[in-house]
Amino acid sequence: MKCSFEYYDKLKTIENIIPKNRITVRVFEKRQFQGKRRDVLSVFLYVLSMGRDSINEEDMDYPARMNESFSRFSLSGALLFNVEFNRKHGNVDSMLLKLHNPIAFYEINNVGKESHFDNTDSKHYLAIDEGTRLLKHYKEGNASIARQYFNRNDGQLFYDEEMNYPVWEPYIFSEEERRIIKLWANHVAQISQTVETLQDCCEKGGVRKYSKRLTALLLKH
């Protein structure tokens, strides 16, 4: 899965179908939110010329899983998991959760990678310097959006460009916790290798030709 952040180009593509004066653009930045409570729902209702009073929030269905931050345990565990998984599997590209990787400009790779560590998806984390590089790279497109859609002559789309987040400190695992995570990573790596072998067998000669080998691999796990 690839995700492009060239939103100016996307808006221009939309303009080929919908007139510009009928396109509503909003910046996903808390200080620029509109509406009664200045949250995402208030912004959406504001665009529709509706207020929070026009809906009965008691009847609303909220998502079962909220977009919450990950704990030090989860992130530290994912890092340890990756190290052990990579050691066993020997394939850097197969790491299940990548942290602090260089940005592939124009197309950000690994967005949506599944993490077997915490059983959730859509994981991609940027270090502070990566976030700064990301904003810098798309600065020209963002400035065009600011000028053409918000009438900001200075080209300032985001106001909170300073990412002064607190320094992240890893979780210190006990020996038992480290042992469990490593066992888990080894098990997932073995399963991944088995699946790759099965796929290779099928591509080379079909399941029937390699039936004994396939049976042995399956019995192993």
What are 25-66's pLDDT values in tens digits? Answer: 988 888 888 777 778 888 888 888 887 777 776 777 766 655
Residue 81 located in a structural domain: yes
Residue 84 located in a structural domain: yes
Tokens of 207: 């399941």
Using left for φ > 0, alpha for ψ between -120 and 50, and beta otherwise, residue 138 falls in alpha
Distances (CA, A) of 215 to 52, 89, 199: 60, 21, 14
Residue 23 located in a structural domain: no
Q: Which amino acid is at 19?
A: P
User: How many folded domains does the chain comprise?
Assistant: 1
CB within 8 Å of 177: residues ≥ 6 apart: none
Task: Decide: pTM greater than 0.75.
Answer: no
Residue 105 located in a structural domain: yes
Grade residue 173 by pLDDT with cuts at 50, 70 and 90. very high
Q: In this predicted model, what pLDDT tens digit does every residue of 78-128 receive, in sequence order?
A: 778 888 888 877 655 544 444 444 333 323 333 333 444 444 444 455 666
Residue 120 located in a structural domain: yes
pLDDT: is 45 or 148 the higher one? Answer: 148
Range of the domain at 180: 68-125+173-221
